[in-house]
């Protein structure tokens, strides 16, 4: 998709619709992380349907964090701690992610909820509330504040290529996690409590996901900016297409 010399366009899903005005939103750290890596970020609000033109536009896709998925999507009754469910967002992102996984030219990164969504889409399920059985590792502090803990990567994966290391500290703020893996997903990283922290979809050149929030650390001196640089670099290598031309406004002669 991406023409040589042109910054790749990276779509980012948004929170919402929410509130009295049914608005959409996203923490600016996602936008800053993509821009810093050399991509052009655009926000993708949940709409009634995923228009095919989206895939003519995008070179990469970030499935962002946010509220919980509807547990009925993985045939489970809702835990009392489930929050922020948006049927509109679930429906839109399921279709968006499904089509993205069928588009090998599109670089895909799931973050937090985005990783959980990919797992459920591919037939896996989730632990709805990790604090029910935490084993010495907190993945979110009180009032949704981020926690910091170590992550250990498996060797010989795309993540080792990206980070050049097998262990580092991450920022996370989630209360759910992968329980059973979906089809064609490989778990390639874990926290000290054995919770799955990263996934690779094996039927796609670059469809990966992390449970932590790398966008929260992209400018803090850690290695997390490397993940966004890898996403943008992969998007640059996508199939070429003609440059877009914006017509000039016609002069009125006045």
Q: Do residues 44 and 54 lie in contact, with contact meaning Cβ atoms separated by under 8 Å?
A: yes
Q: Do residues 57 and 96 lie in contact, with contact meaning Cβ atoms separated by under 8 Å?
A: no
d(C-alpha 145, C-alpha 3), whole Å: 40
Whether 167 sits among the annotated catalytic residues: the reply is no
Query: How does DSSP assign 66-91, residue by residue?
Result: -SPPPGGGGT-PPPTT-----HHHHH
Q: Which residue in the list 149, 174, 175, 213 is annotated as catalytic?
A: 213
Q: Which two tokens stand for residue 146?
A: 């981020």
d(C-alpha 201, C-alpha 209), whole Å: 9
Looking up tokens 């290695």, which residue turns up?
223
Q: Which residue in the list 93, 105, 197, 215 is annotated as catalytic?
A: 215
Phi and psi at residue 177, to the nearest 5°: -165, 170
Q: Do residues 183 and 121 lie in contact, with contact meaning Cβ atoms separated by under 8 Å?
A: no
DSSP code of residue 60: E
- Helices assigned H by DSSP within the chain: 28-36, 53-57, 87-101, 113-121, 158-163, 225-236
What is the Cα Rg of the chain in Å?
18
Whether 80 sits among the annotated catalytic residues: the reply is no
How many other CB atoms are there within 10 angstroms of residue 71's CB atom? 18
Whether 175 sits among the annotated catalytic residues: the reply is no
Q: Which residue in the list 112, 139, 197, 225 is annotated as catalytic?
A: 112
User: Among all residues, which ones are annotated catalytic?
Assistant: 112, 213, 215
């Amino acid at each position: 998709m991406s023409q040589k010399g042109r910054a790749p366009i990276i779509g980012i899903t948004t929170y919402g619709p929410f509130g009295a005005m049914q608005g959409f939103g996203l923490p600016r750290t996602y936008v800053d992380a993509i821009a810093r890596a050399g991509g052009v970020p655009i926000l993708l609000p949940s709409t009634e349907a995923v228009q095919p033109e989206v895939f003519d536009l995008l070179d990469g896709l970030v499935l962002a964090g946010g509220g919980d998925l509807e547990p009925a999507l993985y045939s489970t009754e809702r835990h009392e701690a489930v929050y922020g469910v948006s049927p509109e967002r679930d429906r839109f992102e399921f279709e968006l992610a499904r089509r993205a996984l069928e588009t090998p030219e599109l670089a895909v990164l799931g973050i937090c909820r985005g990783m959980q969504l990919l797992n459920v889409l591919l037939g896996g399920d989730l632990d709805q509330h990790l604090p029910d059985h935490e084993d010495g590792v907190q993945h979110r502090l009180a009032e949704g504040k981020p926690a910091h803990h170590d992550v250990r990567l498996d060797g010989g994966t795309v993540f080792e290529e990206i980070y050049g290391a097998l262990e580092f500290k991450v920022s996370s703020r989630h209360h759910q996690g992968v329980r059973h893996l979906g089809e064609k997903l490989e778990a390639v990283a874990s926290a000290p409590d054995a919770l799955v922290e990263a996934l690779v979809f094996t039927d796609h050149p670059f469809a990966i996901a992390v449970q932590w929030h790398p966008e929260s650390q992209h400018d803090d001196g850690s290695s997390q900016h490397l993940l966004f640089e890898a996403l943008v670099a992969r998007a640059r290598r996508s199939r070429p297409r003609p440059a877009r031309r914006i017509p000039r406004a016609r002069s009125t002669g006045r």
